[in-house]
Structure 1
Amino acid sequence: TMSGGEQEPGHYYVGIDVGTGSVRAALVDHGGILLAFAEQPIKKWEPQFNHHEQSSEDIWTACCVVTKKVVQGIDLNQIRGLGFDATCSLVVLDKQFRPLPVNFEGDSHRNIIMWLDHRAISQVQRINETQHDVLQYVGGVMSVEMQAPKLLWLKENLRETCWDKAGHFFDLPDFLSWKATGVTARSLCSLVCKWTYSAEKGWDDSFWKMVGLEDLIGDNYSKIGNLVLPPGASLGSGLTPEAAKELGLPKGIAVAASLIDAHAGGLGVIGADVSGHGLICEGQPVSSRLAVICGTSSCHMGISKDPIFVPGIWGPYFSAMVPGFWLNEGGQSVTGKLIDHIVQSHAAFPELQAKATARNLQKLHGILGDTPEVTKPELGITGSFKAF
């Protein structure tokens, strides 16, 4: 409180969340209260089986649309910070930061290999056959959805149109923070979880040589990142004048090193203040918590003071989500998408969709969650039935 009893002006923060199918922006106050929210769909292409692509230009445009919406009517000078999270998709740019095609059609607008893309199956098999030490930090076996196999696929399949011209390979969250600040620094979150980077040891030259990607080592790993910061660290001089104009924000506001989307949720759950709510985890260390993050996929995340190696479980990842703690994660890809498929293919879907539209709900879950009392003894069902 200021002298004379006046309240200090409120500060605002903008969070931008890029999911698989849409971009969301939120405006929150200094206490974390949600003040405004906006959502915009983003385009996806599937040129052939197992190939899933997006456009970094399309995604950035969507980021600008939702950000302008959530800051309408507020004093922009009170905005103190901006943060991005996004899916761990692979963005490819040339040496002048222009999009490069990740497809056989040569369409440079489609310059993102999506996280769920499975084109690099033979590449990941060869990487796993090396049994290199870095694989112990991804549960012993690398996933086809991580970045090394995708990079190897590009080298082996799009040498002339993409690989030889490439200047920068970004994880999507880091592409967004670069777009906002002009700083090519990467977040520990992305590089540790999806790129085999170690917060303690850095890159392992021998891994990239062993898998046939030794060309990435040159110029101190400039193509994939040599300045690496913890999530939330302030980037450069903040928002550039160009990005500020596009986003509808003041130039120079702080921009944070990014997070993968699930890990942004994980940080919120693991770090939540639970005092006064009577929860069993109250007064317990954060390492006793399990975050379950549900979206297109579901992800279970836990942190520990010491590294824990579990075959088949991703991690341990040091300082990738919570500074100074090791992260382990597991779950199931596209579970949310499978639920969508079941709901949308059900005979009752049109009726439910009409009800949701009438109540101005974006999704059906609000309707499904308040299903009335159901009693069907012949089916063994009595009492309240919840679809979710």
Structure 2
Amino acid sequence: MKDLISLGLDFGTESVRALLVDLKGHERGSSVVGYRHGQITQKLPGSKKNLLPDFALQHPRDWIDSAARAIRQALLSAKCVPSEIIGIGVDFTSCTMLPTKSDGTPLCLLKQFAAEPMAWPKLWKHHGARTQADAINALAHERKEPWLAHYGGTIGLEWFFPKVLETLEVAPKVYAAADVWLEAGDWFVWQLVGGSAKELARSTCQAGYKAMWNRQHGYPASEFFRAMHPKMATIVQDKLPGRFLAPGELAGGLSASMATKFGLRPGTPVSAAIIDAHAGVPGAGASEPGTLVMVMGTSSCHMLNSDRFQAVPGVAGIVEEGILPGMVGYETGQAAVGDAFDWLRRTLGQSDFSALTRMAAKIPAGSEGVICMDWFNGCRTPLMDGTLSGAFAGLTLRHTPAHLYRALLEASAFGVRWIVELLREHGVSVNRFVATGGLPHHNPLLVQIYADVLGESISVPPSKQGPALGAAILGALAAGKAVTGFSDVEEAIRTMAAPPRIRRATSTIKPRPGQVKSYSNIYPRYRQLANMLQQLSQG
């Protein structure tokens, strides 16, 4: 009897990961392939003109080509045949979005728009829409828009409609030429299953957290969009076609052309997409309310399911069934984590993290007076302000690169403590902590500092590919009960991500009482530095 295996595709900032998992949670094969063009932050392909400093774009062909290579390599490593693949799940960075024609062709691939930056996919970390986000927030507050309560009172500059408005104001010809605006995750699923624009599957996760959409009321009213810009009055009807599906719901079967490209079976069920960090929740085996899943990578997203809706200022999103069915999903986050660590390493002239980490581990809590603010790519939660910047304070001539590095690690942990305090202060229970993604496995010092700063134990599941595992679980759900035998989402998560052998292999990082006390005394300094920097930014 052949095995039943699900394929999870995890699209990150620099690469895509293909993971093959059987229905008992055994990881059978995987592969990671980088994008040929990586992050496009300096010049467009084939252009000599510099992009503006806040720009971060990507090449849509990279997503298809890299996925094809990763899937074929994973199949080889698993010694798996296409007929064993019963479903495909997709997670993607968000809000990474793009304009296309009605047949799904990205505008940047058309000759007349190849040299226009606004025609290219905007990566999640694209920060060119600052003024547009400010204008949208001001308008929403002026009109007392009810959907603001779902986003802590503020939408972010990385979100969907600020980027659309930026395009309309900066490159109106691109806006006019776009038949469809959509998230990259939804675009990729569309490419997998084919069909018309009216049939494309829009993820309720991506729309709910990044595009001001909710199940009760849909998008904001046309009057709001008209007030944003007259040409956007009918954007929902004109440029946002498709149907809404929750992650795990069947978007369609793999098309024959894509099956050939990927080496898979035509008709293989494909799930609607999910945001990469959100996929880390099922991937970490967390199906119960009150568990904060910290998906730690280039940036960090902290996901939590609750049995109730509570308005919390500064959260990135509160979406009913945004993560798992039957629960309210809360998203908070930090805009710079792994990339801030790497930026500091490069700035300090260090070749790798190993020596830096060994030296930092010998430095006591508080980095001997050095305090850091980790807003090196703006602040998500709790301030939702991408214009804020980071800082180091307390430096003297006796301090070393290791002091700066440890101070940055501590700042990241202080940021999480602030987030947890915010949730609890507004009636959202946080009872358990899980760390997943690449960083918890590569940087145990960081997880220990988090535990000490929070005064809480942190579980680290053995899988180093939490989001990809979560995507694979969604692929299995798309295949249906008749194929998998799973009666609901919770059973799929328990069976594939949290069977007894995985629970036994999960490590628990416990707080050290002496360090907890030290950090409780240092944490107020972090908050004082935050207040000072916020006041400086306001002039």
Give the alignment's TM-score, normalised by structure 1: 0.81
Q: List 4+ stretches of structure 1 deviating above 4 A.
A: 102-105, 107-110, 371-377
Q: Which residue of 2 aligns with 1:45?
A: 40
Q: CA deviation at 1:288?
A: 1.8
Q: Which residue of 2 aligns with 1:306?
A: 308
Q: Which residue, 7, 13, 16 being the options, matches 1:23?
A: 16
Q: Structure 1, residues 223-258: CA drift from partner, whole Å, max 9, x if none? A: 22441011110112x100011111111110110011
Q: Distance between the aligned counterparts of 1:129 and 1:117, measured in 2?
A: 21
Q: Structure 1, residues 267-288: CA drift from partner, whole Å, max 9, x if none? A: 323636xxxxxxxxxxxxx112
- Matched AA of 1:149: P
Q: What RMSD over aligned residues (CA atoms) do the two structures have, in Å? A: 2.8
Is 1:172 the counterpart of 2:184? The answer is yes
- The 1:213/1:115 distance shift into structure 2, 3 A limit, reads farther
Q: CA deviation at 1:80?
A: 0.2
- Matched AA of 1:154: T
Q: Distance between the aligned counterparts of 2:363 and 2:291, measured in 1?
A: 38
* Aligned 1:130-145 pairs, distance under 5 A: 130=139, 131=141, 132-145=145-158
Q: CA deviation at 1:95?
A: 2.6
Q: Which residue, 310, 316, 328 being the options, matches 2:330?
A: 328
Q: Which residue of 2 aligns with 1:200?
A: 216
Q: Which residue of 2 aligns with 1:276?
A: none
Q: Distance between the aligned counterparts of 1:289 and 1:200, measured in 2?
A: 26
Q: CA deviation at 1:48?
A: 1.6
> For 1:344, what is the secondary structure of its paired residue?
helix
Q: Distance between the aligned counterparts of 1:262 and 1:376, measured in 2?
A: 32
Q: Which residue of 1 aligns with 2:88?
A: 82
- The 1:37/1:129 distance shift into structure 2, 3 A limit, reads same
- The 1:221/1:270 distance shift into structure 2, 3 A limit, reads farther
Q: Distance between the aligned counterparts of 1:31 and 1:368, measured in 2?
A: 39
- Matched AA of 2:164: L
| Alignment gaps of 5+ in structure 1 | 1-7, 273-285, 353-363
Q: Distance between the aligned counterparts of 1:213 and 1:241, measured in 2?
A: 42
* Aligned 1:249-328 pairs, distance under 5 A: 249-269=264-284, 271=286, 286-328=288-330
Higher relative contact order (CA 8 A, sep 6+): 2
Contact 2:113–2:119 (Cα < 8 Å) also in 1 = no
Q: CA deviation at 1:178?
A: 0.5
Q: Distance between the aligned counterparts of 2:279 and 2:61, measured in 1?
A: 23
Q: Structure 1, residues 44-66: CA drift from partner, whole Å, max 9, x if none? A: 21222101110111221111110
- The 1:121/1:105 distance shift into structure 2, 3 A limit, reads farther
- The 1:164/1:373 distance shift into structure 2, 3 A limit, reads closer
Q: Distance between the aligned counterparts of 2:55 and 2:183, measured in 1?
A: 17
Contact 2:149–2:311 (Cα < 8 Å) also in 1 = yes
Q: CA deviation at 1:203?
A: 2.2
Contact 1:15–1:25 (Cα < 8 Å) also in 2 = yes
Contact 2:226–2:233 (Cα < 8 Å) also in 1 = no
Q: CA deviation at 1:109?
A: 11
Q: Distance between the aligned counterparts of 2:361 and 2:291, measured in 1?
A: 34
- The 1:105/1:29 distance shift into structure 2, 3 A limit, reads closer
> For 1:342, what is the secondary structure of its paired residue?
helix
- Matched AA of 1:332: Q
- Matched AA of 2:87: G
Q: Which residue of 2 aligns with 1:277?
A: none
Give the alignment's TM-score, normalised by structure 2: 0.60
> For 1:287, what is the secondary structure of its paired residue?
coil
Larger helix share, 1 or 2: 2
Q: Structure 1, residues 99-151: CA drift from partner, whole Å, max 9, x if none? A: 21499973589620111111111111110111122222111011000011100
Q: Which residue of 1 aligns with 2:136?
A: 127
Is 1:241 the counterpart of 2:262? The answer is no
Q: Structure 1, residues 183-242: CA drift from partner, whole Å, max 9, x if none? A: 511110111010111122222323323322664636x63522441011110112x10001
Q: Structure 1, residues 323-350: CA drift from partner, whole Å, max 9, x if none? A: 1211112121021100112233445x33
Q: How many matched pairs?
A: 346
Is 1:62 the counterpart of 2:71? The answer is no
Q: CA deviation at 1:36?
A: 1.2
Q: CA deviation at 1:264?
A: 0.5
> For 1:149, what is the secondary structure of its paired residue?
helix
Q: Distance between the aligned counterparts of 1:289 and 1:375, measured in 2?
A: 31
Q: Distance between the aligned counterparts of 1:9 and 1:116, measured in 2?
A: 42
Q: Which residue, 211, 214, 229 being the options, matches 2:228?
A: 211
- Matched AA of 2:39: K
> For 2:218, what is the secondary structure of its paired residue?
coil
Q: Which residue, 126, 140, 151 being the options, matches 2:164?
A: 151
Q: Which residue of 2 aligns with 1:360?
A: none
